[in-house]
Structure 1
Amino acid sequence: MSVLAPDYQRILGVLEERRSAGNGTVKAGETAGELGFGTTTAKVEGVRSRARRLAERGWLLLEASGMFSAGRKLVAVPDAGSSA
């Protein structure tokens, strides 16, 4: 996690805390509020944008409802023994 920028680490930390407490998915607005950013549209969209980037890179899961949860998606890795 230390490879991530501080804001990304904080978002991931909030979602991991929620998961360990038994709360699965979280809206971007809830995450922004927990981070102390406030719930203005600009702040929520900033958190949503960062969370989407984390999901695209496999750090978070983006649910169909638009909510985020901590967890990593499995990524297929090419067979190291193949000669392609």
Structure 2
Amino acid sequence: MPSVLGLLGAKETAARECVERAREEVARVAAVLAEAERVLDRLVIAREAVVEVLTEPAAQAVARVEDAVESVSVAAVGAVPCSTVPHRREGLTSAVLAPDYRRVMSVLEHEAAAGRDGTRARTLAAALGLEAVPAKIEGVRSKARRLVERGWIAQHQPGVFSILTS
């Protein structure tokens, strides 16, 4: 007659073998899953790139490249290191600014032409087509402050920006 401890020992050994096989299977499935996720990520990126290329008109692509070239040339006209906003001086136009800063300048010029004395960051963000959420408004406010610091625009009161009149 077999002993109870012997029977339990045999069942324990069988259970350990089963657990080990299951762990090996989990490791194999995890490796297959990781590879499948890597392939999926690459395919998503490729699809997004193709959609971008196919939907962006050639003129916009050329303009984007020209904007990149202009922002690189900022260093040659006296930009602050690691900045896309050079200090304003005679002879510089807003064309030396990075595209986002030129857009802020354009909105402020439009507001000034409409007879408005100053524009708040929230209004700037809306005019730029951004959502009126704090993160977007703060981003615009930061850009406007940088333009003020470099002498491109004026800040008459906290948060109210306008084009310099000279």
TM-score by length of 2: 0.42
Partner of 2:138: 45
Equivalence for 2:111? 18
User: Residues 42 and 48 (structure 1 numbering): CA distance in 2 closer, same or farther, change over 3 Å?
Assistant: same
Kindly provide the amino acid, as one letter, of the partner of residue 61 in structure 1: A
User: Which of 48, 60, 64 is the aligned partner of 2:157?
Assistant: 64
- For the aligned residue pairs, the C-alpha RMSD in angstroms reads 1.3
Structure scoring higher RCO (CA < 8 A, sep ≥ 6) equals 1
Larger radius of gyration: 2
The structure whose residues are more often helix, as a share, is 2
Query: C-alpha distance in 2, partners of 1:11/1:66?
Result: 14
Show structure 1 runs of 4+ deviating over 4 A: none
8 A contact 2:121–2:141 mirrored in 1: yes
Q: Please list every run of 5 or more consecutive structure 2 residues that lacks an aligned counterpart in the other structure.
A: 1-93
Q: 1:72 to 1:58 in 2, by over 3 A?
A: farther
Contact 1:25 1:67 in 2 (8 A): yes
Q: Is the 8 A contact 1:59 1:72 kept in 2?
A: no
Contact 2:155 2:162 in 1 (8 A): yes
How many residue pairs are counted as aligned between the two chains?
73
